[in-house]
Amino acid sequence: MTNLHRHAPLRVALVGLGTVGGGVIRLLNTNGDLIARRAGCPIQVVAISARDRNKDRGVDLSPYEWVDDMTTLATRDDIDVVVELIGGADGPALTLARQCLAAGKPFVTANKAMLAHHGLDLASRAEKAGVALKYEAAVAGGIPVIKGMREGAAANEISRVYGILNGTCNYILTTMEKEGRGFDEVLKEAQELGYAEADPSFDIDGVDAAHKLTILASLAFGTELDFDHVATTGIRHVIAADIAEAAALGFRIRLVGMAENGPEGLFQRVHPMLVPLDHPLAHVDGSLNAVVAEGNFVGRLFFQGRGAGDGPTASAVVADLIDVARDEYGDALAMPVAALTPQQPADAGQRIGRAYLRFKVQDRPGVLAEIAAATRDAGVSIESMIQRGANQADGVLVAIVTHAGEERCVRETLERLAGSDSLLDTPMVMHILD
């Protein structure tokens, strides 16, 4: 139902006053008149709650009621919708979400971890209560990819959804690419600039991207959320030489989250990949995000924009609030929870594709023959093999690009080489985006 005649303000409780929470207040203050015209009513923050009442957040909080116990917000009659921006898969955020939905109060969140782990439960609660569960800000910041998937592409069967889902990783990889510097140095700089957290593990190990991919896969395929079966590898072992080799071969390295659904099951993976220069993802630089969805009637859809930060993420939060004000919302996961299908995880070993393998090895005769024998015995066909010895005082690098073949053969190659005293480090495998 669309409420075209609403005039009373939409009264918002804002829980969490970090970067995004402050951005929501600034956005509503700056664009309030325009937002009111689009929403059909003013949208007003009336209550706020956060961990530290005295912290300077660079925005005037005096107009808003401070609430120490955020759980009381769920049942207050003078609050129409609660926005949760505190994060965390469990704990206070999940408790608040369940309390709001139980009380029949619309709930807006940017919490991808909570949705990836508990989205089915929350969507079911929202459905039973007949209220909105909105989360545009949880995936790709200011890019309206959730709305695009739930609404714009709703008539299509989606065969594949994939993209660059973490701005921190993309910033690190593209800076390494442009400046030829190593991972550790660029990560330290990203932390100093505020692009990376003091503990960057969730970003650089691919967990953040895996949370987002879980949500996109459910929306794309109508399957149940299944974070536990996202095969996840981050970027901390990508070295400058990998970037250089990829460039020489006509690729750029990007951390790509990819999901496909088919007769063999649901495939979900977050992994550094070699992306051809003629693919749009190869030109997504810096902290930008991008999502590609392939539909059977609409073809390739490409969403790109700023994936994080106060402005883009606040934009997505307020867009959800406008939908709530209009009473424009449907099932949280694009269809009733009962209509979502459980799907077995697909065996990645049966996937066909090319791969890049990089070995750090002893500089001695016979090493290349040992690697070649392992690939031959595992059924891997080598397209090219490059040995780089320069500037590798503690060994040499051997890079291989394979012909298209089953991924299990690449895995078997590494198993055959495991324990070899020729290898000085764990081999790096990156698949090539077709």
Is 17 marked within a binding site?
yes
Is 182 marked within a binding site?
no
Is 16 marked within a binding site?
yes
Is 15 marked within a binding site?
yes
Strands (E), 319-434: 352-353, 355-361, 382-388, 396-402, 405-406, 428-432
Q: Do the Cβ atoms of 15 and 96 come closer than 8 Å?
A: yes
- Structure tokens of 404? 């298209």
- Structure tokens of 376? 């031959």
Q: CA 356, CA 383: separation in Å to the nearest integer?
A: 10
Is 167 marked within a binding site?
no
Q: CA 372, CA 420: separation in Å to the nearest integer?
A: 14
Compute φ and ψ for 219, nearest 5 degrees. -65, -40
Enter the DSSP assignment of 152.
I
Task: Please tell me whether residue 253 adopts helix, strand or coil conformation.
Answer: strand
Which H or E run includes 310?
helix 310-326
Cβ of 286: how many Cβ atoms within 10 Å? Answer: 13
Q: CA 428, CA 150: separation in Å to the nearest integer?
A: 36
- Structure tokens of 92? 């206070």
Which H or E run includes 81?
strand 81-84
- Structure tokens of 84? 């949760």
Is 59 marked within a binding site?
no
Spell out the residues 6+ positions from residue 151 whose beta carbon is closer than 8 angstroms to its own.
Answer: none
- Structure tokens of 2? 């669309």
The amino acid sitting at 212 is K
User: Residues 263, 139, 1, 12: is their CA dihedral positive or negative?
Assistant: positive
- Structure tokens of 320? 């959800």
User: Residues 44, 46, 52, 58: is their CA dihedral positive or negative?
Assistant: positive
Q: CA 307, CA 138: separation in Å to the nearest integer?
A: 10
Enter the DSSP assignment of 125.
H
CA distances from 115 to 103, 202, 225 (A): 19, 16, 9
Strands (E), 110-171: 133-134, 158-164
Note if 128 is an active site residue. Answer: no
**Of residues 105, 134, 212, 360, which has the active-site annotation?**
212
Sequence ranges of the binding site for NADP(+) = 15-22
Sequence ranges of the binding site = 15-22, 112, 197
Please identify every residue annotated as catalytic: 212
